[in-house]
Structure 1
Amino acid sequence: MNKSAESRRHLPTSPFNRAAQAGPPIEEYAVGDRVSHDQYGLGRVIAVESGNAAVHVDFAGRKGRIPSPYTKLAKL
């Protein structure tokens, strides 16, 4: 790219700069965090896989593995 193209302002609604947009940061969880899942309800993090690839959550006796990017999981 030339210098003038790099300094141009891009509109946030432009369909041409989608690749340049970074998604929201992935939330990090620690063992013992209380969480809420859209489908499974309230739970507690019991394990975190390396690199935040997934978290294991105990939902009142039912254990589940929630993969990253945790779209349906919220920290309480």
Structure 2
Amino acid sequence: MTPSTTNRRVLPSSPFQPISQQPVEKFSVDDLLTHDRFGLGRVVGLGKDNKVYVDFGAGTQTISLPNPKVTRL
């Protein structure tokens, strides 16, 4: 017997609340941002599937969004 996962009721006092999706922040070319690992960077390109290309000075990195390590300046 397989468990059914459709339309399950969640009690308000349950510690296992469903995770709500955070809206994806929109970036444009030349936006400044900080990354917890790479530091200060500038958006140099936009990709498909919520990806941005960021120049951090030492090199260009591809970052998938949403990312909790990224903060817009």
Please, what TM-score do these two structures have when normalized by structure 1? 0.69
Q: Would you say how many aligned residue pairs link Structure 1 and Structure 2?
A: 65
Match in the other structure for 1:45: 43
Indicate yes or no: 2:64 matched with 1:67: yes
Alignment of 1:1-76 (within 5 A): 10-11=12-13, 14-15=14-15, 17-18=17-18, 21-52=19-50, 54-76=51-73
**Greater than 6 Å deviation, 4+ residue runs:** none
Q: What is the distance in 2 between the residues matched to 1:23 and 1:16?
A: 15
Unpaired stretches in structure 1, ≥5 consecutive residues = 1-5
Give the structure with the larger helix fraction.
1
RMSD: 2.2
Unpaired stretches in structure 2, ≥5 consecutive residues = 1-8
Instruction: Give the secondary structure class of the aligned counterpart of 2:41.
Output: strand
% identity of equivalent residues: 36
Q: What is the distance in 1 between the residues matched to 2:72 and 2:61?
A: 16
Q: What is the distance in 2 between the residues matched to 1:55 and 1:36?
A: 13
Shift of 1:62: 1.2
